[in-house]
Each structure stands twice: as C-alpha cells, then as structure tokens.
Structure 1
C-alpha cells in the first residue's frame, strides 16, 4: 500500500496548492493533492533529493 503524505506547512484553506509525496519501489512519487486522478510524477531518489536542495536554495 502506498502512503501519501502532505507537507506539515499545508493549511486548511480550499484554495491552497499542495503536493503529496510517497515512497515508491522505483523512487519518490509526487502528485497534486487536489487532482489525484491526473496521476503522479515519479523521480529517482537522487533526483528528488536534488529537487529539494534546489528548492531550499530558492527560499
């Protein structure tokens, strides 16, 4: 079973954008929490780590 998690920064407002992440057998899954039916993006673990580092530096 895949367990999707939202950021702890996610608010309760309906107009907020939020992504969910999950550990998958092939890496990390990322999806839009409001449009789950649109599928997911799958990234290798090293690519996901690089994405997070890039986002942190953009602050």
Structure 2
C-alpha cells in the first residue's frame, strides 16, 4: 500500500500539482484517491471492491 501512495504522490509532483513547501493531502484523502485508482484495475482482474473498508479505524467508502 505504501508503494501505491508513494507512486500517487510522485505522479502529483511530476504533474505540478504538488510543489516544494506544499502540504501533502490528509491520510484519509490519500487513501480514498489510491482506492479510486485501484478499483478499476482490480475490476479488470475480476476482483470486486464494493467497500466500505476501514483504515486506522476510519471508514473509507
């Protein structure tokens, strides 16, 4: 999971969405963004991801 988050942050830096000195998105927001990107890939593999899921005690739809 941490690799997916690192890849997501790196892509945002390359795209110019994150610049030096900017704050990273909150952990929950990062988790939601990564899940949204992963769901279509998992669906192509035949894995359904209906949610909700729990990350550090917080529900992620």
User: As a proportion of its length, which structure holds more strand?
Assistant: 1
Larger C-alpha radius of gyration, 1 or 2?
2
TM-score where L is the length of structure 2: 0.35
TM-score norm. by structure 1 comes to: 0.36
Larger helix share, 1 or 2: 2
